[in-house]
Structure 1
Amino acid sequence: MKRRNFVKNTASGAAIAAAGFNAFSAVEPHPLSAATAESPGNESMARMFNAAYTGSHLDRVAFPLGGIGAGMVCLEGCGALSHVSLRNHPDVFNEPLIFSALYIKGMPNIARVLEGPLPGWKAFGYSDAGNGAGGKTYGLPRFDRASFSTRFPFAELELEEDKIPLKVRITGWSPFIPLDPDNSSLPAAALEFTFKNVSARPVEAVYSFNARNFMARSRRGAARTAADTSRVGRTDGGFILQEAGSEKEPWQEGSFCALTDQPGTAVNCRWFRGGWWDPLTIAWKDVEAGAAPERSPLTEGHPSPGGSLYVPFSLAPGEEKKINLLLCWYVPKSDMREGPEVECSGGDCCSAEDVGRTFSPWYAKKFKGIEEVADYWKQNYSTLRERSAAFSETFYASAVPPEALEAVAANLTILKSPTVLRQIDGSLWCWEGCSDDSGCCQGSCTHVWNYAQALPHLFPTLERSLRHTEFFVDQDKRGHQAFRASLPIRHPAHEFHAAADGQLGGIMKAFREWRISGDSDWLKKYWPRIKASLDYCILTWDPRHHGTLEEPHHNTYDIEFWGPDAMCTSFYLGALKAAGLMAAAVGEKAPLYRTLYEKGRKFMETELFNGEYFYQKVQLEGLDAKPLSESEAWNIEYSPEAQELLKKEGPKYQYGTGCLSDGVLGVWIAAVCGVGEILDLEKVKSHLATVHKYNFKKDLSEHANPQRPSYALGKDGGLLLCSWPRGGKPSLPFVYSDEVWTGIEYQVASHLMLVGLTDQGLEIVRAARERYDGRLRNPFNEYECGHWYARAMASYGLLQGLSGILYDARDKVLYLHPTLGGDFACFISTATGYGLAGVRGGKPFVEAKEGKIEISKIDYRAAV
């Protein structure tokens, strides 16, 4: 097939947007998909995947807006702005006084907060509920019907009320453009308000945006004085909420700007100063009166409590008006410094002059202040929207089952959450997730971020910055890698174990980065570090060269497995094979890696497979490690009663004969990284089918979980981390074993699809997304050890599982081995462009929508 017959490139997404892009057009259900996520016998709970959220499904919706590592504000299902986390850390329950409002002139006049019905839980769900939610907007009139839809990175809220002559549509978005990390990392968001006159009479109205100065240091209730360093300033078309900080606390400096694109916007920088709820009372009085006061900033006395902007407008019957509200922020400093203090040595140390003693965000280097951010946002708004819309349209053109597409898109919001930080030199640094007011589990944890597949495809340069940290900062001369990076990024202490799955996974991910980039010079630079890393793993966990990990090895369950286990051995096999391929590419021979791979594969397929699934052989004897009874080195407390268990059952926290959902995780990572097959396919397929058979539960009501039950419980369905269908469950199995994690559900589902068990994979995906339907859990916040948990980005692997798409930039070959039958299209993102690939008229095709995708060959294998 000639290249020109199946490759079509376009320079940008502008043409797509200009052609009439509608981010919220319906996504047709795929034939493989169940029609609804329905609870049996209760049709009111039914909701189509990728469809609107209405009624009780709106209650927990909070859609993140903001840039990668740049802070976040969420648009709720009712239209409120919450989870305001602009100060370089999460602030999950920060719902400051911010609201848009609408005044309509009439007999009588109408005033509404531009929000739908208040979710019931808010009336009594916050920690200070006993004080009546004073100073909130909860008691202000609002629309009585709302509907919320998303087409990432866009969200759309529709508001209606029979007595109101205007229909309101609010579109929230922030830039997200694959392969353009800088424009996708802006501290900015937008709300676009469209008002349509659905009556037979002309309408006169005033739109307003109102905000208390939540950037002020005293926002949590401290007494204000005339010496306060906060102020409300004026900018063209809007206002700026500011806090200057102090010499003692420079990290308190911060600004938030709100402005419109409307000529003649009136701005009130002087909210009423007074006690109790005076400021809100007077601000709402202005709304009710249809006032649009122009009040300049205060220059003396106490600072203004807040600011408002107003846009008066008139609409003839059937006429529409659109008002764009641009939001941006600037918090250039923090007091965050994570990790131990160690003496700097080597050539890759980051000094305070390089990145600062404490964390500063990337945008603080690009912009000098809030005015520059606002100006850039205004000047580039149309282009950034067109390009973001082009991505959204392309992504949602994927003809794959809607539950899978919903799972992928919902978890892309993690990249907009405070889980992700981008330090001042542009390098990525991440938490595992977010606690309520701080990050959770520091340091771009390698064994968690192993699962996350979105970033290397959408923003490969950011993903490669994680590899740089792992191999050039967190790895010492021995090859030992600290699996948690310090912040600002600098050399760690190397005082704890390496993580076997994290370090071995990093070797497969290095192979992936080479494949995605096609950059052999990059590989040559990294190869000595990769080799040292693998050699350390061999010396530490396989010193007798048996081809399996025998010595105690730390892993993602925050404990150590003793003796050879399937999960970590599969990582070992994948790393050995990947390293052999990379060694050959740089002109080196690696016979030991090949020998260990062959020995390890044979051992795992014979000694760790029981005819149904892979398992663990717990081992204490014959190891270099000291007995647990003589050592405290393994981070496990052994009380007298635990010592008795040790004698009877062996070490705590093993899985032994258990059927582990992650049991062949290394095989999946090898597959999605392009390393290829590392174990017998039929045995892998048998393991995955058994995981689905025993670990997937449609109803967890009878399942006992003494660990962390709220991820999935009661009538929820979900995939357990482990089960013991053949008996032998330890008294104290590995911690988390009775839990349900979406990240593991998605990797298992993706792997099931890759081996042809697509129906079983989709069943798991449906169960996960049914739990996150907005009624009890936020559909855009899949949590594990914290909100917006990184492991959930394993969902991106569903695209590969269904489409079989794998692009190799080294030789420009597109592998297209779908499990979907017939014609289909699926989103593809490479290092040079993104678009769609699939089968059309029985023939493979590729279409680039932005950038280019060079193809020398398509390796197409039709679904069986």
Structure 2
Amino acid sequence: MLGGIGAGGVEIRKDGQFYNWSILNNYPNGSAPILHFPTRPNSPEENSYLFFMVRYQVEGQQPQIKLLQLNNDIAYGGLLNEAPIYYFPWMSSVDQIEYSARFPFADLTFSDEDMPFEVKLESYAPFIPHDVKNSSLPAIDFNFELKSKIDKPLSVSIIATQRNLVAYDTPNKYFTVDIVKKDGVKYFKQSVGNVSEEHDSFGQMGLGAIGGDEVSYYLGWSHRHPFLERLLTQNDLGNIDDSKNRNKLNKAGEKIAWTGGGDNNQVFKSSIAVSKTLKAKEQMGAHFFMNWYFPNAIGWVSSKKERGNDGLIKDPKGYQLPIKKTSRVGHYYENSFENYDQVVDYFVANNKSLKERSKAFVDDMYRSDVEQYILDQINSQLNTFVTSSQLDKEGRFAIREGLTNNQSWGPFATSDVSLYGSASIIALFPELQKNMMRCHAHAQTPDGEINHGLGADLGLNQNGTFGVYERVDLAPNFIQLVLRDYLFTNDKAYIKEMWPSVKKAIDYVLREKDLDGDQMPDMEGIMCSYDNFPMYGLASYITTQWISAMSMAAIVAEDMGESKNAKKYKKIADKGIKLMDKYLWNGNYYRLANDYHGDKGKDEGCLTDQLFGQWVAYEAGVGRLFEKEKVHSAMRSILSYSYIENDYLRNCTWPEHPKFFPMAETNLWVDQANTPWTGVELAFASFLIREGMVEEGKQIVKSIDDRYRKAGLYWDHQEFGGHYYRPMSAWSVLNALAGYNLVKDHYTFAPKNHEESYNLFFSANTGTGALIKDHQAVNVEAYSGTLQLASLTLPTTLWQKKNNLITTKEGAVKVKKWIEKDGMTTAIFDQVIELEKGENLMINPNAVTLN
């Protein structure tokens, strides 16, 4: 998906076509109807919204046009209800496309035996960790390179065409287009008239090209006459504005779009081209850009009566969404730009640096000495930042739980799913993660309950999103998320703001969810993220989260000057561990549940997430909560029972049903036991790696990567709908391999890589960097932003012979205190060290005695 966080975007696929447009505030991301034009049933009309083609002519030969996409339909080249193969035999799609992508870059190489040249496309949209403004731009870049393979002169024109989709859902509009020329740049800006400027889908969109006289345009075309026929006789677009012929007056005297008897949304396209005559084997570039400005993002809710029993929005016509609109929430990009032209000016002026910074992030991460399939899997999940995010003008942020091309699945910022998926958000955009939790705090009920998720208006309290109320895990989810985010960012203002909501959530659990007085939340059936098989009493999935929450709360309470509460929370956590050992440990693993104060008895299910709270504690830098031997025994049991080798890791297995849980014998409506949840698999893989079971963890990641490649859904991980949020837990695998934690500016690395030299990428609260080891020294290097180090903890072996000179560009670093424990050595610095981009902290085995 190419686009911006919360700004919408468009997918570029392996066929060279563009899908799943979400720039127009259209459903499923927005409140305007589904972007669907029923011109021809089952026709892939998206191939006419944006497309590229190359017109070429070898000296002395007939000109040809190649559409830079594969032919999936009888209609192509923007000609719906047409058959170009009949009308224009000199225009056809290319034979083959080689596609490779690393988010946010997609590279396509187009080949055809008829073409006397090579043509490549590099497309990208800015994605720069810790830079929200530039990662939320409504902008996409398309950079073509074409190289002649012949010794004769070759006339070439690379042409970009965009359909005017503005206010696609309104009648009686008329189309407008303006050409803008400035400083070697030309672009067209499309909009409409006779439509309220406050309408959801009102705005501007357009394409531009960088170049002088080589750039030409044709504005406002629709029919095959005369646009494509003109291309047969000349190598540029002629700088024509035909928009006046695309509109007419109706009986009321209003200007409206001329339909020509067809769909009034298909009749207005504009094109821009870069043209040149090449000498023998000469090459050329063609640099295009696409921008948009649709400020009227409207919040919306849907009432219970508009949903079915499954909680999904019903849309019988397939076009119009039965929702209730709330208020204008806007887009974050409006804080920087007042109109479309300002977006274009900024993107063109800063394109080089935006591309370099986006590319640097990808290259820095892939420089890691980690298997490529692991890096690929992590990278693939970053796609969800664009497909499913909302970032409104106020800076409120959330990611939709699931999304398909014609339906939203679940609410935004689902509490239980966020505990997995937000591992990527807190690492790369801490401010967005904190703002998401602020939305949850704002929506917290007066008694302390936390919402299952947030509606499409992130400023509204919409408890019961998707029919879910009072789940047992929601408050512990919230507590863990807020406290993890504080420990990672060391943002004291944030925790001061959020601490009252955290304590209210703690009190809510102790008051409302502890049914037997043991200070642990109790399950009474189906009432947690695993919402299709019941648990009763003390449940490992819930209890470990509560222990994690209380362990973190004890640490943070001390920071807040509340020693009494710190002792209380620590006591609850310790009690929980004892209860886990007493009632849930069965000698091999922690059983699914034990209703030890009730009549439901023990449930021996072996849940993959039975120690989920320990995973969260590791990610938060809290460390070990449960006995190592029991944890490893539980992990071996999970692998033995539930890992289908080289395939998938299922969620839960019962010893009495060692192969499959018999879903047919129950009244449960969906199988959550025998199936895998990718986000759970990835989290568990990182958990295994943290515990030293490195190869086992890697194998699970490899299974996921293979599974999704085979399915052709590499950028679209499934669970509840597609583009699912939970698998963004993938970032935790990168952290685990580096043994990396950041807690209040204190850095820890315990690398699982035992090579003589390595480079391990990490993302901190204010920048990115790498732990780099070679035969001479160990370095912590800043790649972007600023790294602030109050201390550094490494395996004692990395401190060489305990004789070290720690240096930065300022010279030797003063160490206030050394601490050695469990094979790890910590250097607490005399003052916080700040490393800017390109600077490093070097541990050199030369001088100062460690004492």
TM-score (norm 2): 0.79
Residue 603 of structure 2 aligns with which residue?
A: 656
Q: Does structure 2 retain, via aligned residues, the 8 Å contact 1:443–1:483?
A: no
Q: Does structure 1 retain, via aligned residues, the 8 Å contact 2:538–2:595?
A: yes
Q: What's the CA shift for 1:284?
A: 3.2
Pick from 388, 402, 407: which aligns with 2:358?
388
Residue identity opposite 1:681 in structure 2: K
Q: Does structure 2 retain, via aligned residues, the 8 Å contact 1:188–1:327?
A: yes
Percent of aligned pairs with the same amino acid: 23
* Mapping for residues 260-279 of structure 1, pairs under 5 Å: 260-264=209-213, 265-272=215-222, 279=223
Q: Deviations over 1:236-262 (max 9, x none)?
A: 313223234734981131321100011
Residue 101 of structure 1 aligns with which residue?
A: 53
Residue 287 of structure 2 aligns with which residue?
A: 324
* Mapping for residues 90-129 of structure 1, pairs under 5 Å: 90=28, 95-97=46-48, 98-106=50-58, 107-118=60-71, 122=72
Change (3 A) 1:814 1:94: farther
Q: What's the CA shift for 1:136?
A: 8.9
Change (3 A) 1:432 1:196: same
Q: Does structure 2 retain, via aligned residues, the 8 Å contact 1:85–1:94?
A: no
Residue 143 of structure 1 aligns with which residue?
A: 94
Pick from 790, 794, 797: which aligns with 2:732?
797
Q: Does structure 1 retain, via aligned residues, the 8 Å contact 2:205–2:292?
A: yes
Q: What's the CA shift for 1:431?
A: 1.3
Change (3 A) 1:136 1:423: farther
Moved more, 482-491 or 105-114: 105-114
> What CA distance in whole angstroms lies between the structure 1 residues aligned with 2:536 and 2:328?
39
Residue 398 of structure 2 aligns with which residue?
A: 429
Q: What's the CA shift for 1:759?
A: 1.3
Residue identity opposite 1:337 in structure 2: W
Pick from 15, 25, 33: which aligns with 1:78?
15
Pick from 717, 731, 741: which aligns with 2:677?
741
Local SS of the residue matching 1:852: strand
Q: Does structure 1 retain, via aligned residues, the 8 Å contact 2:96–2:112?
A: yes
Q: Deviations over 1:69-126 (max 9, x none)?
A: 11111111132222222123446977141211111112533534453544xxx559xx
Q: Does structure 2 retain, via aligned residues, the 8 Å contact 1:567–1:666?
A: yes
Q: Does structure 2 retain, via aligned residues, the 8 Å contact 1:244–1:253?
A: no
Pick from 178, 181, 193: which aligns with 1:233?
178
Q: Does structure 2 retain, via aligned residues, the 8 Å contact 1:816–1:838?
A: no
Q: What's the CA shift for 1:601?
A: 0.3
> What CA distance in whole angstroms lies between the structure 1 residues aligned with 2:642 and 2:477?
24
Change (3 A) 1:573 1:180: same
> What CA distance in whole angstroms lies between the structure 2 residues aligned with 1:506 and 1:137?
57
Residue 183 of structure 1 aligns with which residue?
A: 134
Local SS of the residue matching 2:711: coil
* Mapping for residues 841-856 of structure 1, pairs under 5 Å: 841=775, 843-856=777-790
* Residue 688, structure 1, aligned to residue 640, structure 2: no
* Residue 293, structure 1, aligned to residue 265, structure 2: no
> What CA distance in whole angstroms lies between the structure 1 residues aligned with 2:151 and 2:701?
47
Change (3 A) 1:110 1:546: farther
Local SS of the residue matching 2:20: strand
Pick from 763, 769, 774: which aligns with 1:840?
774
Task: Please tell me the root mean square deviation across aligned C-alpha atoms, in Å.
Answer: 3.0
Q: Does structure 1 retain, via aligned residues, the 8 Å contact 2:16–2:70?
A: no
> What CA distance in whole angstroms lies between the structure 1 residues aligned with 2:674 and 2:173?
52
Change (3 A) 1:493 1:338: closer
Residue 480 of structure 2 aligns with which residue?
A: 508
Residue identity opposite 1:99 in structure 2: F
Q: Does structure 2 retain, via aligned residues, the 8 Å contact 1:431–1:444?
A: yes
TM-score (norm 1): 0.78
Residue 770 of structure 1 aligns with which residue?
A: 706
Local SS of the residue matching 1:141: strand
> What CA distance in whole angstroms lies between the structure 2 residues aligned with 1:159 and 1:101?
11
Residue identity opposite 1:424 in structure 2: K
Q: What's the CA shift for 1:573?
A: 0.5
> What CA distance in whole angstroms lies between the structure 2 residues aligned with 1:498 and 1:280?
59
> What CA distance in whole angstroms lies between the structure 1 residues aligned with 2:619 and 2:686?
9
Residue 819 of structure 2 aligns with which residue?
A: none
Residue 748 of structure 2 aligns with which residue?
A: 815
Q: Deviations over 1:590-624 (max 9, x none)?
A: 2332222112101112321222222223539649x
Q: Does structure 1 retain, via aligned residues, the 8 Å contact 2:592–2:606?
A: no
Q: Deviations over 1:556-585 (max 9, x none)?
A: 123563211111111011001011111111
> What CA distance in whole angstroms lies between the structure 2 residues aligned with 1:244 and 1:403?
50
Change (3 A) 1:565 1:162: same
Q: Does structure 1 retain, via aligned residues, the 8 Å contact 2:203–2:293?
A: yes
* Residue 575, structure 1, aligned to residue 556, structure 2: no
Residue 641 of structure 1 aligns with which residue?
A: none
Q: What's the CA shift for 1:429?
A: 2.6
Q: Deviations over 1:199-223 (max 9, x none)?
A: 33332211111233233526xxx9x
Residue 320 of structure 2 aligns with which residue?
A: none
* Mapping for residues 332-411 of structure 1, pairs under 5 Å: 332-338=295-301, 357-411=327-381
Residue 417 of structure 2 aligns with which residue?
A: 448
Q: Which runs of 5+ in 1 are unaligned?
A: 1-63, 273-278, 342-354, 624-648, 700-716
Residue 254 of structure 2 aligns with which residue?
A: none
Q: What's the CA shift for 1:424?
A: 1.6
Q: What's the CA shift for 1:779?
A: 1.3
Q: Does structure 1 retain, via aligned residues, the 8 Å contact 2:769–2:782?
A: yes
* Residue 594, structure 1, aligned to residue 594, structure 2: no
Q: Does structure 2 retain, via aligned residues, the 8 Å contact 1:70–1:186?
A: yes
Residue 470 of structure 1 aligns with which residue?
A: 440
Change (3 A) 1:426 1:94: farther
> What CA distance in whole angstroms lies between the structure 2 residues aligned with 1:138 and 1:671?
60
Residue identity opposite 1:286 in structure 2: R
Structure ranking higher in strand proportion: 2
Residue 154 of structure 2 aligns with which residue?
A: 203
* Residue 558, structure 1, aligned to residue 531, structure 2: yes
> What CA distance in whole angstroms lies between the structure 1 residues aligned with 2:225 and 2:770?
53
* Mapping for residues 520-531 of structure 1, pairs under 5 Å: 520-531=492-503
Q: What's the CA shift for 1:388?
A: 1.1
> What CA distance in whole angstroms lies between the structure 2 residues aligned with 1:605 and 1:721?
22
Q: Does structure 2 retain, via aligned residues, the 8 Å contact 1:67–1:175?
A: yes
> What CA distance in whole angstroms lies between the structure 2 residues aligned with 1:174 and 1:116?
20
Change (3 A) 1:94 1:457: farther
Residue 809 of structure 2 aligns with which residue?
A: none
Q: Deviations over 1:291-319 (max 9, x none)?
A: 42211253463446211112211223343
> What CA distance in whole angstroms lies between the structure 2 residues aligned with 1:307 and 1:831?
44
Residue identity opposite 1:837 in structure 2: L
Pick from 266, 269, 273: which aligns with 1:310?
273
Residue identity opposite 1:436 in structure 2: N
Total equivalences in the alignment? 717
Local SS of the residue matching 2:143: strand
> What CA distance in whole angstroms lies between the structure 1 residues aligned with 2:540 and 2:84?
54
* Residue 246, structure 1, aligned to residue 195, structure 2: yes
Residue identity opposite 1:720 in structure 2: R
Residue identity opposite 1:316 in structure 2: K
> What CA distance in whole angstroms lies between the structure 2 residues aligned with 1:824 and 1:529?
43
Q: Does structure 1 retain, via aligned residues, the 8 Å contact 2:772–2:781?
A: no
Pick from 605, 614, 618: which aligns with 1:667?
614
Local SS of the residue matching 1:432: strand
Residue identity opposite 1:285 in structure 2: E
